[in-house]
Structure 1
Amino acid sequence: MDTLNALLAGFGVALTPMNLLLALAGCFLGTLIGALPGLGPANGVAILIPLAFTLGLPPESALIMLTAVYAGAMYGGRISSILLNIPGDEPAMMTCLDGYPMAQQGKAAEALAISAVASFVGSLIACVGLILLAPLLARFALTFGAAEYFALFVLAFATLGGITGKNPIKTLMAAALGLMMSTIGIDISTGSQRFTFGILELYEGIDFIIAIVGLFAISELLFFIERRAGDGDSSVKMNRLKLRWREIVAVLPTSLRSGVVGFISGVLPGAGASLGSFLSYTVEKRMLGSKNRFGEGDPRGVAAPEAGNNGAANGALVPMLTLGIPGSGTTAVLLAMLVSLNITPGPMMFQQHAEIVWGVIAALLIGNLLLLLLNIPMVGLFVKILSVPPKYLMPLVTLVAIVGIYSISHSTFDLYFMIAFGVLGYLLRKLEIPLVPIILGLLLGPEMEKNLRHALSLSDGDWSVLWSTPLSVTIWAIALLGLILPWLVGPMLRRRMEAKRHNGR
């Protein structure tokens, strides 16, 4: 009953005219960002964070808008996958397998409509799971002490391999770099300066927003300049939508099963939407057996990965909101947004900032309905936007980010610092070192250090306190498993995804 009352209060927050308008704008912008190949939800959310500060939005409104962008980007990734055989982001890769063959058969509109319905079903299942599971997990997390929280932070870094999908060694190197950066500034325990080099602007540490916009938005612009991207694809053709109700009903069982698989994948820290998409496609193909035409333009082959990746995307919000541990790269960026607003995600957030948590959950439900209503009739518009030359889009996107950063602090130092992070991000991406672990290290480093010091002070410096309870031992064991699994499963998963995509062409 308490959960229902809290959800109704959340609808009271989400249904205000301003928040509804922000959710609609976020859904539209997110779908557009997701449709542009290579940009992806993490970049999209990072670019629009300064806009939220520029508009002076209250915390719940800013988070509602950015969460809508996140959900919209997960929807939008399917557009270029189906029409161009170019995934908007990694989770949308599996949609290429049957979506593009459908487009080649003159069924592009049907494929896009089916994917929109499947995305809605997967997101709806995940929202229900979020409503039921998040409060229970938050209450359980209230029993954690300093040692358990430190182990939980270690778990977050150990499972980064699943979030980034990259080389585990490079992932850990990036996480270490982020943790090192988190120590810059004044030590709150001793008052001494750490790595400030006498620069006054570094006394308060590195601003998360500057780091995020630099690493994601500016580095993306530098990559664009290097590639000298072409004038876009103006040859996309759309047929008239002829989707019948029986075709929607035919993919509903697939969407329901895949949504559940995706949600479970998303709740696991580090699993991410890519695993949700792949597992949903694989499980559905095996369940259907010889009754499927997966890889040849089977509508169920479009519905499965779309329901899976959207279920996983919303499922990733569960560990972020309840434990302060991001379940995906994009939720790591959302975590930075919360921290910059002086809101600490975790179990206490459900008590101290209940209106924000439940307002966002209610906005997710509303946003998914808005996305369904937007995506079917407005597909033609998004297709036309795909034809706009990137040389016009990318500078505009970067300008929004720069103006947003300057409007926050009115400091030219922050602009130079942002450009420095952009150059760093460009170099790291050239070396195939992921950027999300750096952001996570910056975010979690201070809390991780604080809990370590607290645990050691309570035990008079005895390090065994970190694994002295059954709960902490369990978390350490899961962290060890999360560290090892990417070495074993990651390369195999990527090879199979690439092989399925290649065979599906």
Structure 2
Amino acid sequence: MLNDLGAGFLLFAEPASLIALVSGVLIGVAIGAIPGMSTVMAVAVVLPFTFTMPPVAAILLLLGVYKGGMYGGSISAVLINTPGTPAASCTLLDGNPLARQGKARIALQTALYASVVGDLISNLVLILLAAWLAKFALQFGAPELFTLVVFSLTIVSGVAGENLLKGVIAAALGLLLATVGTDLIVGTPRFAFDVTPLRGGVSLVPVLIGLFALPEVLRIFQGSATGKMAVAALGDARLSVSEFLKHWQTVLRGSALGVVLGVIPGLGATPAAFLSYSEARRRSPDPDSFGKGNIDGVAAAESGNSSVGGATMIPLLALGIPGDVITAVILGAFMIHGLQPGPLLFQNNIDIIYSLFIGLLAGSALLLLVGRLAIPILGRIVSMRSSLLMPGILVLCVYGAYAVNNSIFDVMIMGIMGPLAMLMIYSGLPRAPFLIAFVLGPLLEDNFRKGLLMGQGDFGIFFSSPITWLFWGLTLLSVAGAILSHVRRWSAS
């Protein structure tokens, strides 16, 4: 084992590998901070540059982009209320209110530290428990995934604001939008209205940009008081390590949730962020402060989404099954270099596995360094006049919406979602439940339909295993807690 570990370290210590890892983190942070430029897009764009690189360097480059992108998305979420990546859409709920209070630096430092801790824990779990967690993930079939998504949807109560009914209405609208496209089971179009691009469904990135980015730009152009505050200064307040350690329970809880959701193929960082945020709010002694600038909210969201990264590599390395879209791209890099992830990779190329493990741990430390150096530089961005910054953001939003599928139709979707988001703001409908339901809607429907097919129409299949009973129990507790919380709030008022 020591010989293999030494060989792995030598592979990692090669100049090409080190340069690739550093470049990947820098690229990931930069692209992740651009609204609409998702981490998936960043990894996909970088992939062609790895074809002529050594295998370890190529994969470390992609993993570095993955790590950097997870944190980078929080930068624009905090400073301009526009998430750079879908997973950062939860960070803006408390990150931007903190920035508006002159605590943008604290919010960014909290996001950075929580991201690094979540990423480090995820990597350690990957190294120590990969085989066991991969076996656990294989126990999740369609019924188990359906009940998990049902439980995840109860986080709507945690981000619905003061009016639970309006939160439920917004979530219902999100689920309705998620049904647009081709039915994956039967193959017939739904709500496409003979519009060919709608047959593939509505893309997440244009919806995300339209929901959160365009309203900020429109507010600036309207000259409203809220709009003028959209771009926040970093502020002089700083977060000490001792102050961050006060939130250790939130960070560890979010990291654990991210690891569990990350190891299950197909879920990803966005549900993990929102579930972690909901749990932090539920356990907080002051839940009403969430959404108004609570540091726990930022720590929960960032630890949740960043801890997914290492966990998604567990089914990839152990079983050859990508845990999300990003690891699907990384799987392509493995295969391009003649490597087939799975049990045989541990037998035949254990030195490469060890080099990747070392690279993942080094990447966590590198992310901390890059993040600390980048935060002061970000102050220059927010020092620009809004009249100069917002048009640039609008251009990036249009480019981000277009670049996902190279489709003008996606830009139109973004243009429709912007005024819709403004209407939701004026009517008091929260946007977060809409986004959560839209993200989880396809998972909910697909696994429900697959479960019924497996059970030949018998609904009992959704109560057929201990895992399903666990999630049904958690769902009931979550719903009961939300109702009691809102009843108490209503009684107090």
TM over 0.5, shorter chain = yes
**Counterpart of 2:193 in structure 1: which amino acid?**
F
Q: Kindly indicate whether residue 149 of structure 2 is the aligned counterpart of residue 147 of structure 1.
A: no
1:52 to 42, 51, 55: 42
1:52-88 Cα offsets, whole Å, 9 max, x none, are: 38946469767753642332455898899xxxxxxx8
Q: Kindly indicate whether residue 58 of structure 2 is the aligned counterpart of residue 68 of structure 1.
A: no
List aligned pairs for 1:386-405, cutoff 5 A.
Answer: 386-405=382-401
CA distance in 1, matches of 2:142, 2:485: 32
Query: Residue 278 and residue 22 in structure 1: after superposition, are their counterparts in 2 closer, same or farther (change >3 A)?
Result: farther
CA contact (8 A) 2:175 2:438 kept: yes
TM-score normalised to the size of structure 2?
0.63
CA distance in 2, matches of 1:78, 1:405: 20
CA distance in 2, matches of 1:75, 1:464: 45
List alignment gaps of at least 5 residues for structure 2. Answer: 51-58, 81-90, 261-271, 287-293, 316-322, 332-340, 347-352
1:269-303 Cα offsets, whole Å, 9 max, x none, are: 54435865997999xxxxxxxxxxxxxxxxxx99x
Structure 1 range deviating more: 381-390 or 442-451: 442-451
Secondary structure of residue in 2 paired with 1:159? helix
List aligned pairs for 1:389-428, cutoff 5 A.
Answer: 389-428=385-424
**Counterpart of 2:482 in structure 1: which amino acid?**
P
Q: Which residue of 2 aligns with 1:486?
A: 482
TM-score normalised to the size of structure 1?
0.62
CA contact (8 A) 2:247 2:299 kept: yes
Q: Which residue of 1 aligns with 2:121?
A: 126
Q: Which residue of 1 aligns with 2:27?
A: 25
Query: Residue 70 and residue 490 in structure 1: after superposition, are their counterparts in 2 closer, same or farther (change >3 A)?
Result: farther
CA distance in 2, matches of 1:151, 1:188: 20
Query: Residue 366 and residue 112 in structure 1: after superposition, are their counterparts in 2 closer, same or farther (change >3 A)?
Result: farther
CA distance in 1, matches of 2:358, 2:430: 32
Report percent identity of matched pairs. Answer: 24
Secondary structure of residue in 1 paired with 2:200? coil
Question: Matched residue pairs, number?
Answer: 421
1:242-282 Cα offsets, whole Å, 9 max, x none, are: x9xxx96x679757666435535766854435865997999
Secondary structure of residue in 1 paired with 2:194? coil
List aligned pairs for 1:59-458, cutoff 5 A.
Answer: 64-65=64-65, 67-72=67-72, 74=74, 89-92=92-95, 119=114, 122-123=117-118, 126-128=121-123, 130-131=125-126, 132=128, 136-162=132-158, 167-228=163-224, 229-230=227-228, 259-260=251-252, 263-264=255-256, 270-273=274-277, 276=280, 310-315=302-307, 365-377=361-373, 379-458=375-454
**Counterpart of 2:26 in structure 1: which amino acid?**
L
1:371-419 Cα offsets, whole Å, 9 max, x none, are: 4324545554333333222332222122123124334544433322221
1:443-481 Cα offsets, whole Å, 9 max, x none, are: 443443333233323433222222233332221111222
Q: Kindly indicate whether residue 461 of structure 2 is the aligned counterpart of residue 465 of structure 1.
A: yes
Query: Residue 485 and residue 410 in structure 1: after superposition, are their counterparts in 2 closer, same or farther (change >3 A)?
Result: same
CA distance in 2, matches of 1:401, 1:429: 20
CA contact (8 A) 1:186 1:192 kept: yes
Query: Residue 230 and residue 425 in structure 1: after superposition, are their counterparts in 2 closer, same or farther (change >3 A)?
Result: closer
Query: Residue 212 and residue 383 in structure 1: after superposition, are their counterparts in 2 closer, same or farther (change >3 A)?
Result: closer
**Counterpart of 1:153 in structure 2: which amino acid?**
V
List alignment gaps of at least 5 residues for structure 1. Answer: 34-43, 81-87, 283-300, 324-333, 344-349, 494-505
Query: Residue 176 and residue 395 in structure 1: after superposition, are their counterparts in 2 closer, same or farther (change >3 A)?
Result: same
Query: Residue 430 and residue 12 in structure 1: after superposition, are their counterparts in 2 closer, same or farther (change >3 A)?
Result: farther
CA distance in 1, matches of 2:165, 2:212: 21
Q: Which residue of 1 aligns with 2:320?
A: none
**Counterpart of 1:208 in structure 2: which amino acid?**
L
CA contact (8 A) 1:64 1:359 kept: no
Question: C-alpha root-mean-square deviation of aligned residues, in Å?
Answer: 5.5
Query: Residue 386 and residue 403 in structure 1: after superposition, are their counterparts in 2 closer, same or farther (change >3 A)?
Result: closer
**Counterpart of 1:126 in structure 2: which amino acid?**
I
CA distance in 2, matches of 1:452, 1:306: 32
1:333-381 Cα offsets, whole Å, 9 max, x none, are: x97x6599799xxxxxx969x99x9999977744543343245455543
CA distance in 2, matches of 1:473, 1:392: 54
CA distance in 1, matches of 2:457, 2:108: 60
CA contact (8 A) 2:180 2:199 kept: yes
**Counterpart of 1:427 in structure 2: which amino acid?**
L
Query: Residue 485 and residue 20 in structure 1: after superposition, are their counterparts in 2 closer, same or farther (change >3 A)?
Result: farther
The structural deviation recorded for 1:483 is 2.7
